[in-house]
Amino acid sequence: MKDIDIFLHELQEYMPDANIWYAEIQGLYRGVEERIVPITHSIIEFFNRHENEDFWSNETIDEILEVFENVISKSKNAHQLLTPSDVAQILSGLPENREIHKVYDPFCRSGNLLNMANGHGDLGIGEAPDAFSVRFAKTRFFLLQKLNVSIDQKPVVGLRGAEPTEKFDLILTNPPFGKNPPDTHNGFGYYSSKYKSNDLALSFFTHALDSLSDSGLLGIVTPAGMLSNSGIYVDLRKELIEKNMLEAVLILPQKIFYGTGVSTSIWVVNKQKKQDKILLINLSEKGRKSKERYELPQSVIQQVSVELSDFRSGLLTEKDHLMVVNPGELDENLNLSFDYNFNKRFQRQIEYASSVELIQKCSDIQSKVSAIQKEISSLVEK
């Protein structure tokens, strides 16, 4: 029977040059928190099944990472530790083939989203506010032998003490929602200082904008309310649109995240954007119900990737679940809600169709009147 002590010893032998990581991983399994127990038991069970196999093959490492994520997804802390794989796949597909060196996730949870994003760049940096998430993320990258990824423990962005100095080519993140904790400062950096708020999601959004390089791309999960909220949200939408940085908004299904039914969307901010329009994709009805949440099928994930690529190349054809919006079409509050804009456009089409129909009827009546007048004139002449 292989236990955790043997596993840790094998880890150290397997990668002797990564002792600084080993200490963190050892700390993960020495914890006494309730949420660690089922993960530890699952790992022990996994090792016992593979006791006589080549444990360190790529296949078994992939499998143990699946064990991690499956156990997490069924726990009450899933929403704190894991970005669902379908959401992570959509986010990681946003960059396509652009040149990327540095990748960043300011709230990396257990690291699964950062792991996908890191495939695009040479250097990855992740941050998390608690020791457990940091250790879990380090375990992931340790097993994957990705020592070009740095994981740091930092407080939520509103409690950090300086303006971001590093700039990143790609930022993909699924930050927490809610209110900033007490004693939160007003933020550093251009966007964080300008759009001051106690909204935690907005604080992460502005922090990410401040951390983006001059050619960078940001994909961020936000509450759906940010599409239509008034006040500084309107000002932020206006600035991103006027600077032609807002490329797309994806409306996600409700209950796509573990343990919450909050309506969410993905914003795509692209400093290399070429189109002057905005792509709105409605995925709210595309989810399939599973035991823990609603999931997006692989066919939908692939479809989103194709649609975004076609939009960027100017080849996209509009469908019932997507719209290409000219900023001039938006109302004075720059509401980006898909249903609102779809219904607004549909109403305009109805009004236009009604106007055309009315004009045609008037023309028909005019023609009949002219015919009658001619007939009367001919009778008078006789």
Residue 281, CA atoms < 13 Å, CB-side half-sphere: 27
Name the residue ranges covered by the structural domains of the chain.
Answer: 1-75, 78-329, 338-382
What integer pLDDT is reported at residue 366 of this predicted model?
73
List the single range of 58-62, 257-261, 280-284, 365-369 with lowest mean pLDDT.
Answer: 58-62
More confident residue, 156 or 104: 104
Task: Report whether pLDDT(109) > 80.
Answer: yes
Cα 165 from chain centroid (whole Å): 23
Are 284 and 254 spatial neighbours (Cβ–Cβ below 8 Å)?
yes
The CA distance from 92 to 255, in Å, is 20
The CA distance from 55 to 41, in Å, is 17
pLDDT tens, position by position, 69-88: 776 676 666 777 788 889 99
The CA distance from 60 to 75, in Å, is 23
- Mean pLDDT within 247-261: 90
Q: What pLDDT band is residue 44 in, cutting at 50, 70 and 90?
A: low
Task: Report whether pLDDT(124) > 60.
Answer: yes
CATH number for the domain whose boundaries are 78-329: 3.40.50.150
Q: What is the DSSP pairing of strand 294-295 with strand 288-289?
A: antiparallel
Q: What pLDDT band is residue 251 in, cutting at 50, 70 and 90?
A: very high
The CA distance from 176 to 127, in Å, is 13
What integer pLDDT is reported at residue 80 of this predicted model?
75
What integer pLDDT is reported at residue 140 of this predicted model?
79
Q: What pLDDT band is residue 300 in, cutting at 50, 70 and 90?
A: very high
Q: What is the DSSP pairing of strand 149-153 with strand 168-173?
A: unpaired
Are 187 and 207 spatial neighbours (Cβ–Cβ below 8 Å)?
yes
- Mean pLDDT within 204-212: 93
Helices 19-30, 4-14: axis angle to 10 degrees equals 170
- Mean pLDDT within 15-41: 49
Task: Report whether pLDDT(92) > 50.
Answer: yes
pTM over 0.75: yes
Q: What is the DSSP pairing of strand 123-128 with strand 102-105?
A: parallel
- Mean pLDDT within 319-343: 84
Which residue, 73, 70, 81, 56, is CA-closest to 136?
81
For the chain, the average pLDDT equals: 78
Buried b (16+ CB within 10 A) or exposed e, 2-36: bebeebbeebbeebeebeebbebbeebbeeeeebb
Q: Where are the alpha helices (DSSP H) in the chain?
A: 4-14, 19-30, 36-49, 58-73, 78-81, 85-92, 112-118, 131-143, 190-194, 200-210, 232-242, 298-313, 338-381
- Mean pLDDT within 360-370: 69
Q: What pLDDT band is residue 22 in, cutting at 50, 70 and 90?
A: very low
Q: What pLDDT band is residue 286 in, cutting at 50, 70 and 90?
A: very high
The CA distance from 245 to 73, in Å, is 34
More confident residue, 350 or 235: 235
